[in-house]
Chains A and B, each alone.
Chain A
Amino acid sequence: MEKVVQKIGLKHGSGGRAMRQLIEEVFLELASPVDGIGLGALDDGAALRVGDQWLVVTTDSHVVHPIFFPGGDIGRISVCGTVNDLAMMGATEPMALTCAVILEDGFLRADLERIRDSMKAAAAEAGAPFVTGDTKVVGKGECDGIFLNTTGVALTRRVVTDAGLRPGDLLIITGHVGDHGMAIMSKRHDLGLQGDLRSDVAPVNGLVRAALAAGGDDVVAMKDPTRGGVAGSLHEMAAKGKVGVIIEEQAVPVRDQVRAAADMLGIDPLLVANEGKAVIGVRAASAEKVLAALRAHPLGRHAAIFARAIDERPGSVILDTGLGKRLLAEPEGELLPRIC
């Protein structure tokens, strides 16, 4: 037998345990102490003290395939992903965005312009100006059409981390779960699924601003449930906050068509990626107030309180299905359609 050499696999980019291990084992070495939240915290971004405020910085590369999908495209995701990461730190007024693009030889100019237009539209929705960028072209086959990286910066007076949960806190999801990942998957594996499966990709900074205005300091933890889905976000929040989290499954908003597609493919919507949602941890006393503020916003009409933090089983996520309880495992690797 040939010697097996350690290699990076797709599982290392899927937002689950393998990816976290890779980052911890390889990249954490780059971390150094900062005044604020640095790489070591492995949060959505960094927060650096500047005078009496915090400068929040985040960066995100986008490699979605297909490039155009129902409900959005790689351009819209590249803006929303970064704006949302800033918002999850409490920085809802983006000061500036950068854009770095890597293009494959032969990429259609018309497609690039279409992507540019959708970046422009999303940036306008988020109120985020582009201030600088970089363009590279690589040979045929050296990248898959287009890779996009955006970096965002914003100032905020208060930073919200993903580690702030305490027993008794309630968790709110700002809308339907699983829309983005299901829309992508239905296109990716030639499943021949037809129906209204659309990505939810949207900037949620306005929505989060409404939540922060209503809840103030009682908004204690936030995370955008992208890769790894809501389950992945809750695992991180539970581990970092050293609490257990119980999800009430009946309270999780899922569209009928997403549930149907998920059932057919044997996939749990809680593991599926979202690009226009936030999981928000709130002290119980302010939960209803924050929920009402979210529901008054166009992107938050289907917001729901769906989980709570407990002092038992710290670091675990427990799903109460209404019939019984079970531990919800941390997502592992890319989601694939099942036959079993």
Chain B
Amino acid sequence: MSRDLTLELKFRDPARARELAEAMQRNLDAIGREVSVMHVCGSHEQAIARFGLRAVLPRQLRLIMGPGCPVCVTDGPEVDEAVALARQGVHVCTYGDMLRLPGTSRSLADAQGDGGKVHVVYSVDQAVELARAHPADEVVFFASGFETTAVATAAVALTAVPENFSILSVHKYVPAAMDLVAESKESKIEGFVAAGHAAIITGWGIFEPFARKTGTPVVVAGFEPLDILAAIVKLTELIRDRKAEVFNAYPRCVTREGSQPAQQTLWKVFETRTGKWRGIAAVPGGNLDLRAGLAHLDARKRFRIDTVPVRDDEASGLERECLCGTIMMGLAMPHDCPLFGKACVPESPVGACMVSSEGTCRIWHTYGGAPDLRAVGAAST
């Protein structure tokens, strides 16, 4: 095994993980009640799920998956736009995560089945190459992701791209969602685990005014199991000591100032706008739109996107009953929602919590509750 891989594995050491879990337990014992904290990052949830970390968390700790998956919070009508473009004969390129994400009635995978030219790409560059290879066709990049991913889109927008290339931006901006959750008077969230890779771009300093304003501690975390556990230990310690501070537990990647080249690129191309996040709310400053000066690259300005044939207005009406936002704030459980398991199922989800394979509602629907696996298999060992 290479030396590098060995180093990486140090962040997965089970013995150290147990020590961190014990430290967490001690902090919670000192607090003496149930505590809810939120992470706002789909990759954190993926890592937590992949490594089975929920099974080592103390029972008094509720670790809630916040509105942190840019795919899940992409709104149905936004997907409808991409589906409509594919129907209009335009090549639509997008990341693999977006292919099966449902619009109000159809996904891009469905559009593909209907003969639409839909391409899964790993990088925005592949979309640009496709445009170069098909100069007579229009190629649209359906651009999803938080600021980390938006920077890559922005970098391409600033280069000489072919004339037949444009961008349908559904990029989202993380700090806006944290504001929304923290400012809700009813929110039971006492601390945030902030997304390490978004913070590479923006820097951890961006969370200081947030922590001050809301009185909520923030810990920036990386994505290896020990990164996440150490961050939660620190977060519970700050909650115990009632310190509304920002702590950077991912210093190998995140600095206070963030990446200046990335920020310059990002804001040259994008500006924030209020946007609807699926099942949650209109998030002030939550969407990243192309600036007016880049109208030639903006698919919304370039095409007359007709979503009427692919839109299900009845389905978008259901959203008014969706409790996703409340569930994410720790105020409701899936079975409190009138849609759960009825109008809202994994095959046709209404809210973000049912879209993500790790969303609270999806887990409850698939497994009939949050499974407790701590003791499973112990008897036959």
Question: B97: nearest residue on chain A (CB-CB)?
Answer: A338
Contact B51 A327, beta carbon cutoff 8 Å? no
Contact B376 A339, beta carbon cutoff 8 Å? no
CB within 8 Å of B: which of A294-336? Answer: 308, 310-313, 318-327, 329, 333, 336
Distance between A330 CB and nearest chain B CB, rounded to angstroms: 9
Contact B120 A189, beta carbon cutoff 8 Å? yes
Asked whether any CB of chain A lies closer than 8 Å to the CB of B364, the reply is no
Of B207-215, B267-275, B310-318, B325-333, the one contacting chain A is B310-318
Q: A11: which B residues are within 8 A, CB to CB? A: 100, 109
Pick the contact of A327: B53, B109, B367 (CB < 8 A): B367
Asked whether any CB of chain B lies closer than 8 Å to the CB of A190, the reply is yes
Asked whether any CB of chain B lies closer than 8 Å to the CB of A30, the reply is no
Q: B371: which A residues are within 8 A, CB to CB? A: 327
Write the A270-297 contact mask toward B (1 if CB under 8 angstroms, else 0): 0000000000000000000000000000
Asked whether any CB of chain A lies closer than 8 Å to the CB of B14, the reply is yes
Pick the contact of B377: A318, A322, A323, A338 (CB < 8 A): A318
Question: A312: nearest residue on chain B (CB-CB)?
Answer: B376
Asked whether any CB of chain A lies closer than 8 Å to the CB of B308, the reply is yes
Contact B95 A1, beta carbon cutoff 8 Å? no
CB within 8 Å of B: which of A228-282? Answer: 244, 246, 256, 265-266, 268
Asked whether any CB of chain B lies closer than 8 Å to the CB of A2, the reply is yes
Asked whether any CB of chain A lies closer than 8 Å to the CB of B67, the reply is no
Q: A311: which B residues are within 8 A, CB to CB? A: 380
Contact A322 B95, beta carbon cutoff 8 Å? no
Contact A339 B109, beta carbon cutoff 8 Å? no
Contact B14 A323, beta carbon cutoff 8 Å? yes
Asked whether any CB of chain A lies closer than 8 Å to the CB of B99, the reply is yes
Given A1-B312, A329-B366, CB of A189 within 8 Å of CB of B377: no
Asked whether any CB of chain B lies closer than 8 Å to the CB of A106, the reply is no
Asked whether any CB of chain B lies closer than 8 Å to the CB of A131, the reply is no
Contact B225 A167, beta carbon cutoff 8 Å? no
Asked whether any CB of chain B lies closer than 8 Å to the CB of A110, the reply is no
Q: A7: which B residues are within 8 A, CB to CB? A: 110, 113-114
Distance between A196 CB and nearest chain B CB, rounded to angstroms: 14
Write the A1-13 contact mask toward B (1 if CB under 8 angstroms, else 0): 1101001111100
Distance between B245 CB and nearest chain A CB, rounded to angstroms: 27
Q: B5: which A residues are within 8 A, CB to CB? A: 256
Question: B374: nearest residue on chain A (CB-CB)?
Answer: A325
Q: B377: which A residues are within 8 A, CB to CB? A: 244, 246, 308, 310, 312, 318, 320, 325
Contact B376 A318, beta carbon cutoff 8 Å? yes
CB within 8 Å of B: which of A150-188? Answer: 167-168
Asked whether any CB of chain A lies closer than 8 Å to the CB of B36, the reply is no
Asked whether any CB of chain A lies closer than 8 Å to the CB of B357, the reply is yes
What is the CA–CA distance of A323 and B106 in the complex, to the nearest angstrom? 39
Given A1-B310, A246-B377, A339-B145, CB of A321 within 8 Å of CB of B52: yes
Given A256-B5, A325-B374, CB of A190 within 8 Å of CB of B126: yes
Asked whether any CB of chain A lies closer than 8 Å to the CB of B166, the reply is no
Given A167-B380, A336-B120, A340-B71, CB of A9 within 8 Å of CB of B14: no
Pick the contact of A340: B17, B70, B309, B379 (CB < 8 A): B70
Question: B100: nearest residue on chain A (CB-CB)?
Answer: A333
Question: B144: nearest residue on chain A (CB-CB)?
Answer: A339
Contact A324 B97, beta carbon cutoff 8 Å? no
Pick the contact of B55: A1, A308, A326 (CB < 8 A): A326
Asked whether any CB of chain A lies closer than 8 Å to the CB of B160, the reply is no
Q: A26: which B residues are within 8 A, CB to CB? A: none
Q: A66: which B residues are within 8 A, CB to CB? A: none
Distance between B325 CB and nearest chain A CB, rounded to angstroms: 20
Of B22-30, B42-50, B278-286, B296-304, the one contacting chain A is B42-50
For chain A, the count of residues having a C-beta within 8 Å of the partner chain is 42
Asked whether any CB of chain B lies closer than 8 Å to the CB of A337, the reply is yes
Asked whether any CB of chain A lies closer than 8 Å to the CB of B159, the reply is no
Question: B309: nearest residue on chain A (CB-CB)?
Answer: A2
Q: A333: which B residues are within 8 A, CB to CB? A: 100
CB within 8 Å of A: which of B78-124? Answer: 95-97, 99-100, 105-106, 109-110, 112-114, 120-122
Question: A167: nearest residue on chain B (CB-CB)?
Answer: B380
What is the CA–CA distance of A268 and B69 in the complex, to the nearest angstrom? 19
Pick the contact of B52: A168, A191, A320, A339 (CB < 8 A): A320
Asked whether any CB of chain A lies closer than 8 Å to the CB of B56, the reply is yes
Q: B360: which A residues are within 8 A, CB to CB? A: none
Asked whether any CB of chain A lies closer than 8 Å to the CB of B373, the reply is yes
Contact A327 B373, beta carbon cutoff 8 Å? yes
B14, B70, B377: most-surrounded residue (chain A CB, <10 A): B377
Contact A339 B126, beta carbon cutoff 8 Å? no
Q: A325: which B residues are within 8 A, CB to CB? A: 52, 55, 373-374, 376-377
Contact A337 B96, beta carbon cutoff 8 Å? yes
Q: B100: which A residues are within 8 A, CB to CB? A: 11, 333
Write the B131-161 contact mask toward A (1 if CB under 8 angstroms, else 0): 0000000000000110001000000000000
Contact B1 A256, beta carbon cutoff 8 Å? yes
Of the A-B pairs whose beta carbons lie under 8 Å apart in the complex, a sample of 19, sorted by A's number, is: A1-B309, A8-B113, A190-B122, A244-B376, A244-B377, A246-B376, A256-B2, A268-B50, A308-B377, A311-B380, A312-B379, A318-B377, A321-B52, A324-B53, A325-B55, A325-B377, A339-B145, A340-B43, A340-B70
Top 10 closest pairs, chain A to chain B, by CB = A336-B96, A324-B52, A324-B55, A340-B42, A326-B52, A325-B373, A337-B96, A321-B52, A246-B377, A339-B95
Chain B interface (Cβ < 8 Å from any Cβ of A): 1-2, 5, 12, 14, 17, 42-43, 46, 49-56, 69-71, 95-97, 99-100, 105-106, 109-110, 112-114, 120-122, 126, 144-145, 149, 225, 308-313, 357, 366-367, 371, 373-374, 376-377, 379-380
Besides A244-B376, A326-B373, 8 new A-B residue pairs in contact (Cβ under 8 A), listed by A number: A308-B380, A318-B373, A318-B377, A321-B51, A323-B14, A324-B51, A336-B96, A338-B96
